[in-house]
Structure 1
Amino acid sequence: MTTVLQFAEIDAGMVAEVGGKAANLGELTRAGLPVPAGWALTTEAYRQVAEAAGLAEVIAARRQAGGRTEGQAAEGLAEAARSRLLETPVPDEVAKAVAAAYEGLGGGPVAVRSSATAEDLPFASFAGQQDTYLNVVGADDVLDAVRRCWASLWTDRAVAYREANGIDHAGVRLAVVVQVMVDARVAGVMFTANPVTGRRREAVIDAAPGLGEAVVSGAVNPDRFVVDTVTGRVLDRHEGDKRLAIRAAPGGGTLRDTLPGALRDGDLPAGLCLTDTQARELAELGARVERHYGAPQDTEWAVDGDGTLWLTQARPITTLYPLPEATREGLRVYFSFNVAQGVMGPITPMGLAAFKLAGAGAARLFGHGPAELGDGPAFMAVSGGRLWLDLTTALRSRAGRTILPRLLRIAEARTAVVVDRLMADPRLPVIHTGRLPVVRAAARFARRIHAPARVLLALTSPRRSLGHVRDLGERIDRRLRVPAGATPAQRLDHAERVLAGTFPLAVSVMPIAITGYGLFGLASRLSGVPVGEMQDVLRSLPANPTTEMDLELWGLAGRIEPEPFRELPVHELARRYREGTLPPKAQREITGFLDRYGHRGVAEIDLGLPRWSEDPAHILGVLANYLRTGAAGGVPAIAPDALFARGAADAETAMAAVVTRARRRGRLRGAVTRFALRRTRAYAGLREMPKFFLVQTLAGVRRSMLAVGEHLVATGVLAESHDVFFLTFAEARAALAGGDRRELVAERRASHEREARRRHVPRVMLSDGTEPEAQAATTADPGSLSGSAASAGTVTGPARVVLDPVGAHLEPGEILVCPSTDPGWTPLFLTAGGLVMEMGGAMSHGAVVAREYGIPAVVGVADATHRIGTGDLITVDGAAGTVTLQED
């Protein structure tokens, strides 16, 4: 088989033969871009050496010894593989091919660079994970550099990076690029989109004298240029100190020059190693590369002594968040629905389709529904498997600028700050000045959910109002029932109909809940007590389905037989529960809990994810956590049910104090304030009910779609029933006619898993890719973090950073630090001493539940999960909205 291929023989589809770097260089060469001449030693040569070295046996032995290779097992694997490769002789045919190809380049200085098959991929760049050798001279030295490149596939960092990105070690091979060395006067890197702010069409260039290795390795503070690639305008230039230059050494290798100060070279501006003209030429070259690939690129470049510009590498910028598909012209502003809901991972395709249907039903209430329900409303967009809401119309409306920031300050305080800044952006001027369309839409919405009648009912009869809510739950249950003999097509019709019609039913609870909060505000006005000082009135609210669920789970832990939960791992508990072999009371009580709450789950807004009734492992793990820590049945004064009861008593005391202050202003004021706060206590907990009903609907639709999935498995369309959630409703309907969809599902699963590993999701993003929050970021005091006050009180304790609640263990008194929460997280609140969240506002889910449980909480704390580590001693001041890292 061919072991050497010239760049002109290589294209982007040859990653398996030549690796990512060589495939890109070949593609760039064939596109006519200025790439120095070179060739690639293919993965066939590596295969021969790896086979002779017995690497397959090394990988298999490590897996067998340590399961998934992590920690010391990974390091051991890396060391063993490197040693084998360096000790194994290079086959004669390979050595001769390398020597001949090297002479074909003229026999002068070359760069020898690793090119792995898992490298420069759209989702993982592997930048810097394998080795490069510069200014290599002579065939023997080239062959030695090739051998060291092969070994660099097995550095500790490369092994760890592959594991972090879910890439199988056994499936990775390495080619080697050998390329004419550019004797660079200036070199560096260029991103064709801003990697910090995310803004597209904005090239960021780092440049330094000498070889680009100084910039790539971080050995120098380079000059930086920012260039608008559309207009060619240099937006910013910043001079680095450039006190070091890496240059080619005579006879081979490199040397480091220490420069005495800022570089001053001929006619260049003071200190800068590129002129504006050169920066524009570079940006233009970057734009050509981006157009060729159709995506922003991370490139390396060099300018030789003659002033010729060379492109030495290009790969995708893997850290940029993908843009939502634009449906309307102009600059758009998108808000992450996922972030608002505390679901950082992607949503399955059918889960997204369900939201489009529900969103279409909601839009119709305002008179703005789409022509086709499945298309979703115009304000919904999808990107990165996540849902985005287009806020542009509201931001460019006078009424929207009044309403939107107030809503966000309550629900998502950090986003409110971003929106305030965007209102000053000259690209987003107000163009909708009339209030009448907004008033008409609001009136239409209120009429269609019978808001006036619901408010009147809430004012006059709590018993009937709460009865109406219970009736709604039963009505939704009836709507979800599908006849046993329903065909798959009928199930799909029913699912789409139910999803589009559930929102109007679920949201009809809100007028009652809003009446409670409205009366809370009235009580504040009548009594003269600020709302912020009345938060204790909202402690331990009744009729909140989430807190009722949590307390039921806590009580269950005190009633069941504790022994197996203290002794067995969660997977064994789950197996015994499914087989019905847990102790009798535990089996019966857990079944009863799941009969009532089994439709819930972590990230439960995604129709495609299992419910607790399908996979009870999370709930069993929470019970085990309660019992192992001795929390359940512990000291009554600190048990959550006792705390909840104490919270209700504190609320009564707080109400009495507010009423007393109102009475001082007049007897009638006191009477109305008492009436208002009683209604607030009765209704405020209902704020969780619309989501509870929506999740109830999603669980019912999920059961029906699993039946559709089973039918598609039986007809050979899918591999397993759960694969149906990687199709949309329309695609599932089309699949009923036949045709294999397994390859499509496999591609979508792989994409979903890659997106699930994404650590950062913007909360707000512009259609040009800009992340406004990153654009405005400033260096904060590392010892003090600020957010929004969410639940009063102060607590000092060890932090427990949790990114996924499934399997999380929280000791009593530890402070939970997390990105955000949904009801699947709240069982952890029962043992938490405090709460710190990156997302949310005073009325977000985590804040409300924290107040009800009486634990101090601060929400909207930027990068809390990165700036705080598990075990750090922190103080949470829930009234001031601050988190302080204490000295040990």
Structure 2
Amino acid sequence: MDEHADRHPSRPGDTVISLARVDAGMVPEVGGKAANLGVLLAAGLPVPRGFCITTTAYREVAAAAGVDPSGPPEQARSRLAAVSLPEGDVEAILAAYADLGEDTPVAVRSSATAEDLPEASFAGQLDTYLNVVGPDGLLDAVRRCWASLWTDRAVAYRADHGIDQRSVGIAVVVQEMVDAGVAGVMFTANPLTGRRKETVIDAAPGLGETLVSGAVNPDHFRVDAATGEILQRSLGDKLSESRPAPGGGTRLLHRQDGAGQACLTDEQIRSLARVGTRVEELYGDPQDLEWAIEPGGGITVVQSRPITTLFPLPEPQNHDGGTRAYLCASLLQGLTRPLTPMGLASFTLMSDSYRPTATGGGPAPYSSAQAGMRMFVDVTSLLRTRGGRRGLLRAMKVADARSVDVLAYLAADPRFALTRAPRLASLKSGLRASPPFGLVGDVLRAMANPAAALERVREADREMDRMLVLPEPVTGARRLDFVERVLTKEITPAVMRVLPPAAAGYAWLGLARLLLGRLVQAGELQAVLRGLPHNVTTEMDLELWRTATSIREDPDSVRALTEEEPQLLASRYVEGTLPAVCQGALRGFLAKYGHRAVAEIDLGVPRWGEDPAHIINVLANYLKLADPELAPDRLFQRAAEKADAKVAELAARTARARGGLYGRIVAHGLRRARETAGMREYPKFRLITAFAVLRGQLRQVGEELADAGRITAPGDVFFLDLAEARVALRGADLRGPVAERRQGYHREMRRRRIPRLLLSDGTDVEAAMAAQAQAGPSADGQPGTLTGAPASAGTVTGKARVILDPAGAHLEPGEILVAPSTDPGWTPLFMTAGALVMEMGGPISHGAVVAREYGIPAVVGVPDATVRIRTGDTVTVDGAAGTVVVDRSQASDGGSRGPGGGR
């Protein structure tokens, strides 16, 4: 029993509390670090004795010193560093220190109330002082820990995580100093690959500060936590170590023989892994620990915090054990951001109602799953049959080229070995992985008669329009019934009815490619698909250009768009106070396309008709385009003319080489391809049309719930699912759950890396590939040649503009757009872009299709393009070869990047 624990029990308002009296519920008083240490102590884990100076002491001293949380950080730091502590606090601190022994060396650590929490670790943001000796040294270290709450890096970190600067308090942990023979850090899940139950240990001689600060190359070990098998040993040079200095502080010693042998024995490695497993089981989540081993061999844990960067695991599924593989459906839709709970619920309803069923008692070919507020598809069953694997790889070649390599890598994993399925079962699996077999007849009819197929689409449109009408008046419960019926029974068949024309166009293209054989060069068939008719996304963008053209003629409208902020202009539009020409032109555009949005596949995202700020920003960008030859409508017309010329050229080439009949067939096939391939965007367009109607119905339910006080605002309904909305209509107050989900949503919005292929043990397969190959971009982002999938032929050199989110983005005419992925909400930016580079996508992904239509070079599926390329870099995009050459020698703005492209 800690004697200090008895003498200093915790009470509200205490300035000093023994760590043995601290528990997980005391974060507001002791901060995240101290709370975690208290939990470890209570569980009997080896933690150094100590005490905590609470946030009460800090707040009293900060108030007396005149610290203003909204003022300059340097002012707060200087005042706290020089402040005099109240006499009562000094007495309490020194009494607690005396209980540890006279002039005992201690470690003094900051413990903020927003630190070491599941949503934000704050690792390295606040200060620690080691080997502090004596009362004066202790009090000075306490002041400096308080001051570290206001370093520029800590303030910026809180701002980035949306943490109110005024809400944060800081406590200080004081613990007996461990004179470590070896120290280091340990992760109970692999932080690079995400794999759970794989412990990663970095170790170096002496105190841990050299390792944490990056001053030493440590020994590195990976351990299978379940078996204790040491999977990897990598020895660092360990050329320096930190040791306690006589009288206080630390000193750095240089070593000559650090690389000779490991600083941990195999048994110590396994013992550390066992300690890590105990700590993870205690918290229920993977942990990041700091540890030390005393010269006598005892292991001590000096800190534990959650690993906040791991991608969440998929929700548990009802399967018979074994590792599962999940393909990210969100990324395949060009969406890196999370989906709202209602958006996720809508896709789950649609996929579960339409998913092909298993045959012969076997597993279903795929099922939906969720992780990190994103949609995934369980493709385990497909990977385990030869036909399913072939069908999946075939689909990815055209949808997302990078996924092909990732799936091929996983295919070599014995956990996903092919099962000995009968040939017929394997064939069925392959067909289920491919587009719906029932559409083949409709596709053949569309190939034979495109005009009739387009008329059938128009009839399907009229049927869908009738389906989406809900006669008023109607109750909130009836609105939810309507939304559920459309999602589960009606919307998917309606969208399927408009698929055949586009499929027919690409079938004709494939037939022409087969006939051409070696007569066609790389990129030539892409040229045939430029300037296609019937592409609703192109038509939308051209309509927006015409809107800008009409506005350009009115000086008042031009002045408003170029001088006022888009969000203010959006408010003026809603109020009807924009200049008349601008108001009318924008109203006309939104009447046709107001149902669209960035990230529009999410039902929870506001449509442009609700918030036109993004469209207004794009219009302002269009007004900067001065060269009439670069006008998008002229570019589109020239692209169509070049495509027709390419059709004639390829037909003539075939006729010369193989005869007139072959030439005529190629010409016919390519013309037919051009007639209907532009319909590729139409099924999604109709889906989004339906989503806008369903969103309107849900919004009215939200208004009813907000009026009744069950949620705070009408838009909160999109942070519920349909079942929860029904419960709220019956009287449940769901304001608390909505607030928690909004917090989780905003946290996920900050996440940059989304796994393409995620395993049920947490492994990001693409990251595991890179770790195994020890490849990927260098830490300093050195330039070079990046490779991806060819998407739109042509070569352009220009300045790069990295844009992570199109909302409010600025793209100068001719700049190279570098983006993680795109959906139709991005395409207005394409109209003034010189070229496109994307991290996601394949030859028929959305961005590739639209880039070809505009005749701009494009390379897609470029790994980490938004990291390896910086705004201002000079880049050369070769859309036929699939290469991007980066030249940083002439970067124009210091290599910045960000959501607005480094503006």
TM-score, normalised relative to structure 1: 0.94
What per-residue deviation string (whole Å, max 9, x for no partner) do you get for residues 518-562 of structure 1?
111111222333474322111111111111100110111111233
Letter in 2 for 1:90: L
Alpha-carbon offset, residue 337 of structure 1: 1.4
CA distance in structure 2 between the partners assigned to 1:479 and 1:370 by the alignment = 35
Cα 1:351–1:368 change in 2 (3 A) is farther
Alpha-carbon offset, residue 563 of structure 1: 3.4
Alignment of 1:221-370 (within 5 A): 221-262=217-258, 270-327=260-317, 328=319, 329-363=321-355
Unaligned runs of 5+ in 2: 1-12, 891-903
Letter in 1 for 2:44: G
Alpha-carbon offset, residue 84 of structure 1: 1.7
Q: Greater CA deviation, 658-667 or 537-546? A: 658-667
What per-residue deviation string (whole Å, max 9, x for no partner) do you get for residues 473-527 of structure 1?
2322221111111111111111011112211211222232112111111112223
Q: Greater CA deviation, 44-53 or 433-442? A: 433-442
Determine if contact 2:240/2:255 at 8 Å carries over to the other structure: yes
Cα 1:551–1:158 change in 2 (3 A) is same
Alignment of 1:16-35 (within 5 A): 16-35=28-47
CA distance in structure 2 between the partners assigned to 1:11 and 1:874 by the alignment = 55
**Pair 1:721-2:714 in alignment:** yes
Alpha-carbon offset, residue 641 of structure 1: 0.6
CA distance in structure 2 between the partners assigned to 1:841 and 1:229 by the alignment = 38
Alpha-carbon offset, residue 432 of structure 1: 5.6
Alpha-carbon offset, residue 360 of structure 1: 2.1
Q: Greater CA deviation, 462-471 or 715-724? A: 462-471
Cα 1:608–1:368 change in 2 (3 A) is farther
Determine if contact 1:521/1:531 at 8 Å carries over to the other structure: no
Partner of 1:526: 515
1:54 to 66, 83, 98: 66
CA distance in structure 2 between the partners assigned to 1:365 and 1:306 by the alignment = 62
Partner of 1:487: 475
**Pair 1:86-2:75 in alignment:** no
2:135 to 136, 139, 151: 139
CA distance in structure 1 between the partners assigned to 2:216 and 2:352 by the alignment = 54
**Pair 1:43-2:55 in alignment:** yes
CA distance in structure 1 between the partners assigned to 2:434 and 2:189 by the alignment = 45
Q: Greater CA deviation, 2-11 or 455-464? A: 455-464
Alpha-carbon offset, residue 661 of structure 1: 2.5
2:453 to 451, 461, 465: 465
Alpha-carbon offset, residue 397 of structure 1: 1.0
Partner of 2:204: 208
Letter in 2 for 1:250: P
Partner of 1:412: 400
CA distance in structure 1 between the partners assigned to 2:277 and 2:675 by the alignment = 61
Alpha-carbon offset, residue 377 of structure 1: 9.9
Alpha-carbon offset, residue 103 of structure 1: 0.6
2:544 to 548, 553, 559: 553
Cα 1:512–1:365 change in 2 (3 A) is farther
Partner of 2:535: 544
Determine if contact 1:360/1:369 at 8 Å carries over to the other structure: no
CA distance in structure 2 between the partners assigned to 1:642 and 1:754 by the alignment = 43
What per-residue deviation string (whole Å, max 9, x for no partner) do you get for residues 374-393 of structure 1?
xx996111111111111111
CA distance in structure 2 between the partners assigned to 1:695 and 1:745 by the alignment = 25
CA distance in structure 1 between the partners assigned to 2:830 and 2:359 by the alignment = 40
CA distance in structure 1 between the partners assigned to 2:563 and 2:236 by the alignment = 60
**Pair 1:882-2:883 in alignment:** yes
**Pair 1:812-2:813 in alignment:** yes
CA distance in structure 2 between the partners assigned to 1:451 and 1:445 by the alignment = 14
Question: Could you say what secondary structure the match of 1:232 adopts?
Answer: coil
Cα 1:7–1:59 change in 2 (3 A) is closer
Cα 1:710–1:83 change in 2 (3 A) is same
Alpha-carbon offset, residue 850 of structure 1: 0.6
Determine if contact 2:81/2:143 at 8 Å carries over to the other structure: yes
Alpha-carbon offset, residue 443 of structure 1: 7.6
CA distance in structure 2 between the partners assigned to 1:696 and 1:300 by the alignment = 53
Alpha-carbon offset, residue 348 of structure 1: 0.6
Determine if contact 2:22/2:35 at 8 Å carries over to the other structure: yes
CA distance in structure 2 between the partners assigned to 1:287 and 1:233 by the alignment = 14
Question: Could you say what secondary structure the match of 2:304 adopts?
Answer: strand
Instruction: List, as ranges, runs of 4+ consecutive aligned residues in structure 1 with deviation greater than 6 Å.
Output: 365-371, 441-449
CA distance in structure 2 between the partners assigned to 1:444 and 1:122 by the alignment = 40
Alpha-carbon offset, residue 845 of structure 1: 0.7
What per-residue deviation string (whole Å, max 9, x for no partner) do you get for residues 129-175 of structure 1?
11111111112211111111101111111111111111111100110
Alpha-carbon offset, residue 369 of structure 1: 14
Letter in 1 for 2:421: T
Determine if contact 1:365/1:445 at 8 Å carries over to the other structure: no
CA distance in structure 2 between the partners assigned to 1:426 and 1:444 by the alignment = 23
Alignment of 1:419-434 (within 5 A): 419-431=407-419, 433-434=421-422
Alpha-carbon offset, residue 261 of structure 1: 2.4
Partner of 1:613: 609
Partner of 1:601: 597
Question: Could you say what secondary structure the match of 2:221 adopts?
Answer: strand
**Pair 1:572-2:568 in alignment:** yes
1:688 to 681, 692, 704: 681
Determine if contact 1:360/1:377 at 8 Å carries over to the other structure: no
What per-residue deviation string (whole Å, max 9, x for no partner) do you get for residues 816-860 of structure 1?
011000000000000100111111111111111111111111111
Determine if contact 1:36/1:182 at 8 Å carries over to the other structure: yes
Cα 1:442–1:33 change in 2 (3 A) is closer
Q: Greater CA deviation, 604-613 or 135-144? A: 135-144
Unaligned runs of 5+ in 1: 63-76, 264-269
CA distance in structure 2 between the partners assigned to 1:446 and 1:419 by the alignment = 16
Alpha-carbon offset, residue 671 of structure 1: 2.6
Determine if contact 2:117/2:306 at 8 Å carries over to the other structure: yes
Determine if contact 1:449/1:507 at 8 Å carries over to the other structure: no
Determine if contact 1:361/1:369 at 8 Å carries over to the other structure: no
CA distance in structure 2 between the partners assigned to 1:367 and 1:641 by the alignment = 51
Letter in 1 for 2:207: L
Cα 1:151–1:167 change in 2 (3 A) is same
Cα 1:550–1:6 change in 2 (3 A) is same
CA distance in structure 2 between the partners assigned to 1:435 and 1:697 by the alignment = 40
Partner of 1:668: 661
Letter in 2 for 1:402: R
Partner of 1:712: 705
1:654 to 646, 649, 660: 646
Alpha-carbon offset, residue 687 of structure 1: 1.2
CA distance in structure 1 between the partners assigned to 2:433 and 2:240 by the alignment = 66
Instruction: Count how many residue pairs are aligned between Structure 1 and Structure 2.
Output: 857
Q: Greater CA deviation, 433-442 or 788-797? A: 433-442
Question: Could you say what secondary structure the match of 1:190 adopts?
Answer: strand
Question: Could you say what secondary structure the match of 2:377 adopts?
Answer: strand
Cα 1:95–1:567 change in 2 (3 A) is same
Letter in 1 for 2:832: T
Partner of 1:592: 588
What per-residue deviation string (whole Å, max 9, x for no partner) do you get for residues 170-223 of structure 1?
100110001011111111111111111111111111111110111111110011
Letter in 1 for 2:169: R
CA distance in structure 2 between the partners assigned to 1:250 and 1:706 by the alignment = 68
Alpha-carbon offset, residue 293 of structure 1: 0.6
What per-residue deviation string (whole Å, max 9, x for no partner) do you get for residues 371-419 of structure 1?
9xxxx99611111111111111111111012111121111111111110
CA distance in structure 1 between the partners assigned to 2:118 and 2:550 by the alignment = 52
Cα 1:432–1:824 change in 2 (3 A) is farther
CA distance in structure 1 between the partners assigned to 2:449 and 2:592 by the alignment = 27
Partner of 1:170: 166
Alpha-carbon offset, residue 779 of structure 1: 4.1
CA distance in structure 2 between the partners assigned to 1:850 and 1:103 by the alignment = 72
